[in-house]
Amino acid sequence: MRHLMSPLDFSVEELDTLLDLAQDIEAHPEKYAHACEGKKLATLFYEPSTRTRLSHEAAMLNLGGSIMGFSSADSSSAAKGESVSDTIRTISCYADICAMRHPKEGAPMVACQHSSIPVINAGDGGHQHPTQTLTDLLTIRNLKGRLGNMTIGLCGDLKFGRTVHSLINALVRYDGIRFILISPEELRLPEYIRHDVLDRNNIPYEEVVRLEDAMPDLDILYMTRVQKERFFNEEDYVRMKDFYILDRAKMKLAPEDMYVLHPLPRVNEIAVEVDDDPRAAYFRQVQYGVYVRMALILTLLDIHVD
């Protein structure tokens, strides 16, 4: 049985197959409308995340399956001191597949070791959020027609940003990838990723402080939020915050075929005026997130549709 713990669980070839399936689902949704009939997805959300939960649920419902679960730890047996391994053994009797979100790193890994149903890691603390990465990959591939040979700007909090780290790890497996890392000094990509992932894979990258400086070179701009409290001091924050807000003026500097992604929710790091730009792809990304999760559920349940 297979689980999804990290985006790297899939080889590049397996990932290609998964993304092909997602693309076929997008093109022919009706073919898949009954693929999971009689199957149940349990969403085990030990911390709330409406977007991620509903995306999994929409995926399962689109496949004709059913959904059940809980949306916060208060309403779960965790409050009574039950271990994750006991919970998953119980859930294995109720559902055919589950998606687990947990504040503690590694909890989904513990779960999958005791589970008799496939477990999807739907986010574990600051550690992994693999279905977001699958979503990002499908979005990039669908928009640009490829996953290699491109320059990707990663903007915002590169120090703590789980989605950014995960995306880097996934993209370095493709040829011709180049990164522009756009962040304040305080929030630079950690040394262990620059060294162990980028340098070791001979991935070219550049670090810049201002978003404007990166725009002209990009194929993809991946935006994330910069939280005020991450800055060393108020003065730095005031001086720099506008560097990381994408607006119409900055969009003018970018190529015609560059696309903007964002894992959402956004707060103010992308001005609302950008939403109408055809290159703003963050809401299409949400839709791709449903398709890729449909493909994932089918893959983990080993269900094939002709």
Enumerate binding residues for a copy of itself (CB under 8 A): 33, 38, 40, 42, 45, 48-51, 54-55, 57-58, 61-62, 64, 66-72, 74-77, 79-82, 85-87, 89-91, 93-95, 264-267, 272, 283, 286-287, 289-290
Active site residue 133: no
Of these residues, 43, 52, 131, 224, which one is catalytic?
52
- Whether 183 and 155 have beta carbons less than 8 Å apart is answered as yes
Q: How far apart are CA 139 and CA 59, in angstroms?
A: 16
Question: How far apart are CB 287 and a copy of itself at their closest, in Å?
Answer: 4
Helix axis angle, 282-300 relative to 12-27, nearest 10°? 110
Residue 305 in tokens: 């549709």
Active-site residue flag, 51: yes
**Is 195 annotated for ligand binding?**
no
- Report, in Å, the least distance between residue 65 CB and a copy of itself: 9
Q: Select from 242, 216, 214, 217 the least CA-distant residue to 228.
A: 242
3-state SS track over 93-137: HHCCEEEEEECCCCHHHHHHHHCCCCEEEEEECCCECHHHHHHHH
Taking the least distance from each CB to a copy of itself, the nearer of 54 and 172 is 54
2 is in an annotated binding site: no
200 carries an active-site annotation: no
265 assigned binding-site residue: yes
Task: Give catalytic status of residue 52 as yes or no.
Answer: yes
Q: Is 159 a catalytic residue?
A: no
Is 101 known to sit in a ligand binding site? yes
Numbered residues of the known binding site for L-aspartate: 80, 162, 225
By annotation, the residues acting in catalysis are: 51-52, 80, 101, 129
Residue ranges of the annotated binding site for carbamoyl phosphate are 51-52, 101, 129, 132, 264-265
